Structure 1
Amino acid sequence: MLRNFMLVFGLSALIAGCAPLVGVNANSTTPPSAETKKKFQGGTTNMTFSAHGTQVEFLSKDGRTALWYPGNAVVLQGRWRLIGADPTTGFQDNICFQYGANTYNPLTLNYGGNWECEGIALYEGHVVERVAGDPFGLGKRGAVPFVLPRQRTTFSDLLKRRS
C-alpha cells in the first residue's frame, strides 16, 4: 500500500515538474535577463513534447502568440510575456502564455484564461528549431494550414506540405 502511494506520489511530482505552472506570478515586475530578452525577439518555434507531440508557435514582438497544435483545425491565438526570477518555478527566467477561456490544455487539464508560466530552460529543451518571422502566417489565420501531425517534423517538411 505504501509502495503504491509512493509510486503515485512520485509520478505526480514528475508530471507536475514537466507541466507549466498556472497563475505563477505572471504579472511579476522582475525583468528577465538581457540574454533571454535578446533570444525572444519574436519568431516561430517548432517544438516537440512527449505528451503533446509537435507544436509550432509564432511569438510576435508585441506579445501576441499563435499556436498550431496537433490535431486542431484552428490556430489558437493568445498572449505571451517574459518574466524574471520566480521562486515558485525555481527558474531565473520564465516564459508565460495566456490563451482564451474557451481553450483547454490536455496536459495540465486546465482551461485557458489564466497565465501559465514555465522556466526558459524547460521551454528551450523542447525547441527543435526557430526561425525569424511567421512563415506559416499563423498570426493572421483562423484556420491551420493543414492538420499538424503529432510526429516530430521540420519547418522544411511543413513548408513543403503547405505548398
Structure 2
Amino acid sequence: MTSTTRPSRAMTVLVTAAALCATTAATAHATGNHPAGADPRPPKIVADWARAWNGTDPQALGALFTTDGTYTDLGLGVAFHGRQEIAGWKARADSLIDNVHVTVRAAHRDGRRITVDAVYAGHLKGAPKPFAVRMTTLLNLDGSRCRIVSDEDHYSLGTVLAQSGLPADWTPSGN
C-alpha cells in the first residue's frame, strides 16, 4: 500500500463515521439504551474514534490525533506519541486480538475533555475464550476540538485475561 492511498482510506473512515454516529445515536435514543442524563448522541470525535478502533486501517486512528498527540493504555501501562506510533499501536492490537471492538455506551463532554464509557472486546489470539470488559476513556481535545491531544484508556487487564481463560502472568508469544 502506498502512502498516497492511506489518507484516502482514513478520510473514508472519518466520513463514514459521521453517518454512523447519527445512526448509532438514533438507535440508542429510540431504545433508551443510554444512562439517564447522558446525551444519546456521542460527539463526532467519539464516533470517529470508535469507528477507527473497529476498522482495519491503523492510520485512521492516528489521523484523529494532533501531530504530537499521546495515546496511553493504562491497562498495559504503555504510551504512544505521535500519529505514527498511535497507528502502530492499533496495528499491534489488531495483530494480537481478533475482532478487537469498542462499543460506546455513553460520552460526556466538559469543555475540551470527553469521558467515554465503553465496552472493549475481542479474542486474544491463542486464548480459549473472548473477552468483553468495561472501559473508560478520557479524551482531551485541541482548541479547535477537531483533534485528540491525549487519550487515556482505563480498563482491567486482569479481567481481560480472566475472561479470556488465561493466567494473570500471560504475555503474547514473541514478547
Q: TM-score, normalised by structure 1?
A: 0.29
User: More helix by proportion, 1 or 2?
Assistant: 2
Q: TM-score, normalised by structure 2?
A: 0.28
